[in-house]
Structure formats: C-alpha cells, structure tokens
Chains A and B, each alone.
Chain A
Amino acid sequence: MNRPLLQFVCLLVIPALLGLIFNAVRANSLKIFDDRPMRPPLENGGQGGNGDSGGKTVDEFNIEELKTILKEGEAILIDARKPEKFLAGHLVTAINIPSTQIFRPETINKVKALISPVDEIVIYCGGKDCNASKDVLEFLIGMEYPAENIRIFKPGWELLGQADIPKAVGEE
C-alpha cells in the first residue's frame, strides 16, 4: 500500500476508533446499534380495539386514564397541532410542539428545556386521521427520548374537545 493511501486509511480508522471509545465512556453516549422499535400509536381512546402497545392494551389507554394522568400530573402533554389551532383551544397543561416546526432549532431547545428523558409523554393532534402526533413521536425518538415513555392519544382533539377535561385558550 502506498504511503498517502495508508495515511488516508489511518485518518479514517484512528479517529473513528477514538470517537467510538469516547462515546462509550461519555455520559450522553449514543447507542449506535440500539434500534428501539417504535411503539405503535393507539388506534382509539378505549372505544374498542384490541391492539397491544408496549404491554398495555389499547383499552387501558382510554379517556378516563388520560384524565387520571392529567389530574396527577404524571405526563407531559404535547399538542402537535398548528399554533393557530392551539391558540383557539387546547388542554390546559399541554405544550405546543407543532409537527410543522419540529426541525427548527428553537423547537429543539424548547423540547430540551421542558421535557426530561424520564418523563412520560402523551401526544395528541387533530383527530384519528392526522399524522402530526406520529411526526412529533419520531422527532422525540430522534432526540433520544425513550420510545417506551411516549404515547399517542389517537382520537386527538376530536374527542378531547368534547370531553370533560380542563381546557384553555391562548398561549401555553
């Protein structure tokens, strides 16, 4: 092997090994081969369905359970709808992470500031046909939030808007 080619290989291999070693010992290390399966979104809010979601059946995550979670403040609630819809009405403890803005640096900073990796997270969007919750779920998993702590309330605002749950208008 000629000298420049050998140097080229050294410049690729040695830093890569250093990076992997440094990553293995650091506090916020990345698990390179940890392809955690995404938890499937719940198909409904407990009004039928029999899918399984990380050990909990869909029936276990009904609107009553959501009310309990909210009452006890056990979870961070994320409204994935557009800001104008959020301003028009949202659940009282919800924070707005619009799926259309998840790639902005300010959104990343907001998520880091408000959500800890150990928090339980519930996401909702407009209704059972919207994909905004799924986009936010993928974004959070991308930010290394554990998939097992994140759940989607699939019926979304269609059901929540009519439910007996405290709501607010305006900013969070």
Chain B
Amino acid sequence: MKDETKRAVELSLAILVGLVFIIFGLSKLSNPPELAQNIRNYRWDFLPGWFTRFGAVVLPWWEIAAGVAICYSSWRRPACWIIGGMTALFAVAVISAIYRGLDIDCGCFGGGAKVGIKTLALEIGILAAVGVILKCSRSVEKNSEEE
C-alpha cells in the first residue's frame, strides 16, 4: 500500500473513531450519577465506591479529549493508547456482563443501549480501527525516515 493511501486510511479511521468517542463522551457528560449507576450495574464489587464515582466524573472528559486528540496527527499516538486502553476495558466489562447474564444498560451512550453482542462488536471494531491507525502511522513514519 502506498504511503498516501495509508495516510488517507489513517486519517479517515482517526476521524471516525474520534467522532464516536466525542459522541460517547458528550452523551455521558450531563449526568455523572447515572453513569456511576451504569458502572455499578456491572457489579464489579471489588471496585471501591470512590473509584466508581471518580470514573463517572472523568471518563466522559477522557473520551472527549482522546476523541479530539486522535484527529490531530501530532497527538494521534497517545490518543490511540488511551482509546485502545479504555475500549479494551469496556470490552472486558461487556464480556463479563454477557457471561454473567446481566440484563443492563451498557452505559456507552449515556443510556438506552443494552449490553450484548452488538456492544461487544462495536468495542472490537474500535480496537481494530485503533490497531490499523497505529500500524499505518508507524509504517508511514518508518518509510519517511528511510527516505
């Protein structure tokens, strides 16, 4: 694949993932108590209460910041690490909820979407997109250095 094509793929996926994360963050921003409840609904009882509440307060802001940052080439790599890490954590939470048969709101969009295969597919899709972005970014960077 040519470098131009790789750059186009990288940018397109970065904007797509960025938009998804900005929407995720904005939809949860207005109601931290509801997000805290959504996190508790996963019944990860080993998490202390303060940790859950802290997560409910900062998670939407991390999503928005990472969603904006991934659209800029100079911030793309650290944004990918954050988005990849968060998405991996969400995927583990969704898998554990499906495994335990929990009939709960996934908390992805601030309410309305239930945990299930579709949610898991979305998480896996985002992880795959982040992987492609990082790979394209590294490949283009390597080729530039060689030239």
Contacts and interface: CB of A to CB of B under 8 A. Distances in A.
Interface in A16-55: 16, 18-20, 22-23, 28-33, 35
Nearest to A26: B32
B62 A15 contact: yes
A65 interface: no
Contacts of B54: 32
B60 interface: yes
A16 B58 contact: yes
A142 B37 CA distance: 6
Contact of A30 (B56, B64, B82, B103): B56
Contact of B37 (A8, A18, A28, A143): A143
Contacts of B17: none
A20 B58 contact: yes
Contacts of A31: 53
Interface string B77-113: 1110110000000000000000000111100000110
**Dominant SS at the A interface?**
helix
A116 interface: no
B36 interface: yes
Contacts of B49: 35
Contacts of A105: 105, 111-112, 114
Interface of A: 4-5, 7-8, 11-12, 14-16, 18-20, 22-23, 28-33, 35, 103-105, 108, 142-144
Given A4-B77, A7-B78, A16-B61, 14 more contacts: A8-B81, A11-B75, A11-B79, A15-B62, A16-B62, A20-B58, A28-B31, A30-B32, A30-B57, A31-B53, A35-B50, A103-B103, A104-B103, A142-B37
